[in-house]
Structure 1
Amino acid sequence: MTAHPLLAELAQRAGARAHLTVPDCSCGAATLADRADATVVRHAGTVAKAHAPGTDPAALAARLAVAAGLPDVLLPPLAATPAELHGRLVTFWPYGAPVDPVDPDAAPWEAAGALLARLHRTPAPAGLPPMRGPAKAAHAVARLSAAGSRPAVAAVLSAWRSLPGWARAEAPTPAAWVALCHGDLHLGQLVRHPAPDGPWRLIDVDDLGVGVPAWDLARPAAWFACGLLPPDEWTRFLDAYRAAGGSAVPAAGDPWPALDAPARALTVQTAARAVTKSAAAGRPLDEVEQCLVDACARMGSVPPQLAADSAK
């Protein structure tokens, strides 16, 4: 099946739901994403998302329930249960205005930190599945086999093997650390609702679950450590998280014993994806991709900091 029938029917579903509240809407549908793991279409104020093939219905329903119950943190869904279309689970959401990619100075680092802290302070409901961050990192590393024997592959694999088992999805998460987590935090996961200037909310519940809350800080921490995120932006994010009572790091002092292993895991994941994509395209690594691989190469000489012996 091609993506086109799915896109067309998603547009119809989004339009039908949008017209429940905007009967005279004359706008067409817009495709926001069309990837193997997510196809997203907007019609007026309604967004329809087809989730990845094989998505567990019960797990997705549990994640939707969390979003519905935390409307001050997560964008709430428009329906409590997913629909099904062409073998894919489909959810419906209100449209939110995304972060402006051409205005990095306006990036909502303070809002991201505060929202994460509130999420981490929320008790996780019984039966919620694990946060999918470590499993996605392991999947990215597994796909490195398609990149052959490039030198970059060896550097990434060596860094991966140095990580604690829980960060590689090979061991249980240390029980004392478990919290409600987003699982895939980056600036693309924030929108303003109502658009265009409402409060910021987190979106995308596909990876939501219980796990190590430091994972949600790991991507900006990794960018900072690799020199890809300016120090002032990292400080804005971390200070806002701490001010809002986030549990992933101590309220003061050095945050890196808690952040180091997850930040390394996110660096490895991002580098693995970069190496796989560059190999598939038959091109060398670009400057940013090489920076990530170089960071992986440095990891082998410095053991990761661990916040607790149970992380080993």
Structure 2
Amino acid sequence: MTALLPALTATVRRTAHRVPRGTCDCGPDAVLADRDDATVVRHGATVAKAHAPGTDPAGLAVRLKVAAALHDTLLPPLGETAVPLHGRLVTFWEAGTPVDRDDPDAAPWEAAATLLARLHTTPAAGLPQPLPDMRGPAKAARAITRMRAAGPHPAAAPVERAWATLPAWARAEAPAPLPGLLCHGDLHLGQLVRTPAGRWLLIDVDDLGLGDPAWDLARPAAWYACGLLSPEEWTRFLTAYRAAGGPAVPADGDPWPALDVAARALTAQTAALAVAKSAGQNRPLDEIEQAVVDACDRMAALPPELAPTSTK
């Protein structure tokens, strides 16, 4: 990571100006993320992202082409070819304005829902091929693996019990039973940016692919079930998704039977990452982390096939 960050910064500067320049009036570089799975640097109006080690070049290439084709839904890349850098694949994007985390009342739930519905109803046949699988379930399974590797933790047991109740497809051990539709794979409000033209678009195509569209509604559903998202915000999101013709849930009535399994899987994923971080940092769980672990404890007592409407 030490060698990657300055190299990525130099690369985004060159890309921002199209030619090397010693100085400019773009202001200081901004490191937007520096994690094992992604390093993101902004210079001026350009963002460079170094994708996770081991990223499949063919899968990423198709995902970039899909983003370019669906530029009214997904932020299009600045070029459809990833650049190798220090063993990582790097892509370039127009900088946008993220959701303001300090102003939850202004959260664009309607925009997120409408973009998701548009993505889910896009015919796969007209997109670049071969489309990869949506990687949401695989990310959940990796979170469980990470928790196990972090060592013993008192909160791991309820997460393991909740995980064990899920069907094989939700644990990335079998294909999803529903017809594969185009999905984002990792939807949360951090995956939206407002462009200079004023449009909200989805970002981060790393998990984009064919799968169960319920997965894209699962994190807001899980937050609602855990008490971390208000009923008003959940209703705004769900109503907008239905109004836009989203296929993940019925057009009316109780949505939970369609969302229950995916929401449980996202809850287990979130809890597993919380436990792994708690163990790695040798600290107790915070209030939000404890809430998702407690939700896992409740889920384990009522497996999905017995849950009438909700994980609450």
Superposition TM-score, scaled by structure 1 size: 0.93
Structure-to-structure mapping, 1:1-150, within 5 angstroms: 3-20=1-18, 25-27=24-26, 28-124=28-124, 125=127, 126-150=129-153
The answer as to 2:252 corresponding to 1:252 is yes
Aligned to 2:310: none
Shift of 1:62: 0.4
Q: Is residue 137–residue 266 contact of structure 1 (8 Å, CA) maintained in 2?
A: yes
The answer as to 2:245 corresponding to 1:242 is no
Aligned-partner Cα distance in 2 for 1:25–1:10:
17
Aligned-partner Cα distance in 2 for 1:22–1:235:
49
Structure-to-structure mapping, 1:144-183, within 5 angstroms: 144-174=147-177, 176-183=178-185
Q: Is residue 14–residue 20 contact of structure 2 (8 Å, CA) maintained in 1?
A: no
Q: Which amino acid aligns with 2:56?
A: D
Shift of 1:305: 4.6
Aligned to 2:207: 207
Aligned-partner Cα distance in 1 for 2:85–2:219:
33
Q: Which amino acid aligns with 1:8?
A: P
Secondary structure of residue in 2 paired with 1:144: helix
Q: Which amino acid aligns with 1:243?
A: A
Secondary structure of residue in 2 paired with 1:172: coil
Moved more, 148-157 or 65-74: 148-157
Unaligned runs of at least 5 residues, structure 2: 308-312
User: Kindly tell me: are residues 214 and 306 of structure 1, through their superposed partners in 2, closer, same or farther at Cα, counting changes over 3 Å?
Assistant: farther
Shift of 1:18: 1.4
RMSD: 1.8
The answer as to 2:224 corresponding to 1:221 is no
Secondary structure of residue in 2 paired with 1:48: strand
Shift of 1:20: 3.3
The answer as to 2:195 corresponding to 1:193 is yes
Q: Which amino acid aligns with 1:77?
A: P
Q: Which amino acid aligns with 1:172?
A: P
1:115-151 C-alpha deviation (Å, 9 max, x unpaired): 0000000122441111111001001111222344433
Aligned-partner Cα distance in 2 for 1:302–1:177:
27
Aligned-partner Cα distance in 2 for 1:41–1:47:
6
Q: Is residue 50–residue 88 contact of structure 1 (8 Å, CA) maintained in 2?
A: yes
Unaligned runs of at least 5 residues, structure 1: 308-312
Moved more, 54-63 or 143-152: 143-152
Aligned-partner Cα distance in 2 for 1:84–1:151:
41
Shift of 1:22: 12
Aligned-partner Cα distance in 2 for 1:277–1:78:
34
Secondary structure of residue in 2 paired with 1:296: helix
Aligned-partner Cα distance in 2 for 1:19–1:40:
18
User: Kindly tell me: are residues 275 and 260 of structure 1, through their superposed partners in 2, closer, same or farther at Cα, counting changes over 3 Å?
Assistant: same
Aligned-partner Cα distance in 1 for 2:258–2:280:
35
Q: Is residue 13–residue 20 contact of structure 2 (8 Å, CA) maintained in 1?
A: no
Aligned to 1:310: none
Q: How many residues align?
A: 302
Aligned to 1:299: 299
Aligned-partner Cα distance in 1 for 2:145–2:5:
30
Shift of 1:72: 0.5
Q: Is residue 73–residue 119 contact of structure 1 (8 Å, CA) maintained in 2?
A: yes
Q: Which amino acid aligns with 2:175?
A: P
Shift of 1:306: 9.0
